[in-house]
Amino acid sequence: MEDNFWQNLKKPVFTLAPMEDVTDTVFREIVLETSNPAYLNVLFSEFMSTDGFCHEVGRPKVSHRLLVNESERKLLKEKGVKIVAQIWGKDPEKFYKATKAICEEYDFDGIDINMGCPVKKIVKQGGCSALIGMPRLAKEIIFATKEASSVPVSVKTRIGLSKVVTEEWISHLLDTSPAVITVHGRIQKQQSEGVADWNEVAKAVKLRNERGSDTLIHGNGDVMSIEDGLERADKYGVDGIMIGRGIFHNPWFFNLKQTEKTPDERLALLWRHASLFVETWGKDKNFAILKRFFKIYANGFYGAAQIRAQLMECNELEDVKRVLTNRSY
């Protein structure tokens, strides 16, 4: 394995969570443009199926999740931000094959294994958070991935399936010495409901410390600002903070000093995102994916609700241009 970059990052590390149909190369570039690199250290790809990637027909259908635009790559280098590919599945052999191919054919700084996604159809297939209930298989997967990888391997997970099993589960993961374990303070059954339990995240830190392990523990769940993240890192002893839904409340999240953004600034970023999306994906991705982002930008100012309603009716870039050009507030 090459140098473990995770150990060289200033603590607490701040990362943006991998999210399906969210953290593609386009949105990552938008986040990079709006962020202070002192408070954004690592980005993740959308999570990609190892089953699909290892299948001749399936590979083109899933490999787009690993795309890194040249413009994003340039920003990553300028700002010193790392990028990690996240993968999921249930077959150690396919993890080995997929990891080997990613390391040989792509330029990622790390590989992350998804053992936390709570989506029911994926859990029913035995992937992601389902692995919490299959620790032996989970260990095999991590060992196979590490064996194939030339970059550090990390794991993102939760504190249980239908009940909290933090200590038992994290102990199993620590046996495999991943570079990082990111712990989301909810069980699978909760999905994104209820409050994340950071006391359970702290138990993972305690276990790591008792073992004298080099594995870093990052926390995830309900962090709504950098200041909040810094406070939680201090209180619960984690080495890093992963941001998920917080980015939907504020695309300028990764800055300690927040300045009020004007409607023009917000809508200019919306246009930048929409136009880069079409430039990158053309007809390969459904334009409707963009609609989940419109409410991020068209928000918090007089007339925003009207603009949002009009944007939700848009089916192509020209429609968006028309709405933004004809707006009145």
- The residues carrying an active-site annotation are 117
Distance CA 41, CA 35 (A): 10
Return the structure tokens found at 97. Answer: 């094959």
Q: Are 42 and 84 in contact (CB under 8 A)?
A: yes
Burial of 321 (0-12, 13-18, 19+ CB in 10 A): middle
3-class SS of residue 39: coil
- The interaxial angle of helices 135-148 and 166-174, nearest 10 deg, is 30
For tokens 């990613």, the residue is: 102
d(CA 249, CA 3): 35
Per-position DSSP letters for 280-302, written without gaps between them: HHTTSS-GGGGHHHHHHHS-SST
Contacts of residue 278, defined as CB under 8 A and 6 or more positions apart, other chains included, come to 287, 316, 317
Nearest-angstrom CA–CA distance, 183 and 148: 24
3-state class of 4 per DSSP?
coil
Q: Give the Cα-Cα-Cα angle 218, 221, 224 (nearest 5 degrees).
A: 105
- CB-based contact 170:196 (threshold 8 Å): no
Residues 49 and 45: their CA atoms lie apart, in Å, by 12
